[in-house]
Amino acid sequence: MEMKGTLITKYSGKLSGLFILVLLCPFTGAGQKATPDTARFLIGQQINITLELQVKEGTIVNWPAFGDTLTNSLEIISVSAIDTVKQSNQDELLLKQVIRITSFDSGFHVLPPVSFAIKESGSAEFTEVFSEASLLEVMNVAVDLSADIKDIKPVMKAPYTLRDFLPYFLLLLGLGLAGLLLWFYLKNRKKNKPLIRFPSKPDKPAHLVAIEQLEELKREQLWQKGQIKEYYTRLTDILRTYFDARFQVDAREMTSEEILDAMRDQLSDAGRMEDLRKILMLSDMAKFAKGRPLGADNELSHTLAVSVVNSSIPAPSRPETGSVQQPPNNEQSDSNTNH
């Protein structure tokens, strides 16, 4: 609380309780009270005891400290902070504290005097002053002994809250979700569709697949092992599958001449058409005429097959920025290696 004087609180090892130092004016007198709200109250009821001490500014006060009880029958519920009020005569202060008490013993109980130790400004000794004692009456609850004995009241039910219904709500939500998933599963099962569709990876470009298969064929070294027919069968199957995927030409069901006719409009480079013709000719000789092409021809057939694939790679797409998208590095390296 704001006042013109200066208040300093401190604890001392020699004197128990809270000290209040009031500076400015000399001590001339003191007034002290311990006033209860009421002198009669019901057992278990709580009342307030107001402690008041009026002093001159410049007085040191040893304020009493309280524990859990005032007496064996009076229990302390709470103790407020000490409030300081500036009096109207400008040289006096009123110190107040509220103690909340209760009692569970019926009958009359004495509220004992409260001791305050005060010391005048400039004095070397404390003077002890006391409040007046009070008589308190703790009353029992009135009982009508002539009335009938009543049964114990049933336990009161607390009102329902959202937390009480939350488990049931979650259970209904889970059952609803399970039913929805079951319905969705049965519906898609009739149409032979998966329950959950995961995004599929984009198919690898046909020319990359063909180049990888040709490289794998080269590593297997079939013609070096004398498996010439198997070598040319694999070689031409790779080209037939590539033509089907790249140009939608059903080359796997065509003869060599039919393939040449179908690819004439697709391979505009006359040199590549000649390369394809030579591959198919050597293949027919090895598979049907039981011929045995030379090792150089076998190696050349593989080289020409790679050239045919690389020469028919789709043109790179042009992004909106106008820059030309370059083919992957492995494509360029394959093309440079085989050429």
Structural domains in the chain, sorted by start: 7-139 (2.60.40), 206-313+327-338 (no CATH)
The answer to whether 319 touches 325, Cβ cutoff 8 Å, is yes
Position 192 scores a pLDDT of 67
Position 11 scores a pLDDT of 30
- With DSSP H G I counted as helix, E B as strand and the rest as coil, what are the percentages for the chain, rounded to 5? 35, 20, 40
Q: Which two tokens stand for residue 127?
A: 């003077």
Q: Which residues are 93's β-sheet partners?
A: 55, 86
Q: Which residues are 36's β-sheet partners?
A: 49
Position 135 scores a pLDDT of 94
As averages over each run of 10 residues, the pLDDT of the chain (339 residues) reads 33 35 37 90 94 88 91 94 82 90 94 90 85 93 80 84 88 92 81 63 82 90 87 89 86 84 79 86 82 84 88 68 47 43
Q: Which run of H or E residues covers position 132?
A: none
CA distances from 268 to 217, 255, 271, 291, 329 (A): 27, 20, 9, 31, 25
CB atoms within 10 A of CB 104: 10
Q: In which residue are the tokens 């920025």 written?
A: 321
Position 191 scores a pLDDT of 66
The alpha helices in 25-161, defined as continuous H runs, are none
CA–CA distance, 140 with 41 (Å, rounded to integer) = 9
CA–CA distance, 303 with 181 (Å, rounded to integer) = 55
CA–CA distance, 253 with 243 (Å, rounded to integer) = 12
The answer to whether 101 touches 77, Cβ cutoff 8 Å, is yes
Position 35 scores a pLDDT of 92
Torsion, CA 164, CA 165, CA 171, CA 174, rounded to 10: -120
Would the pTM count as exceeding 0.85? Answer: no
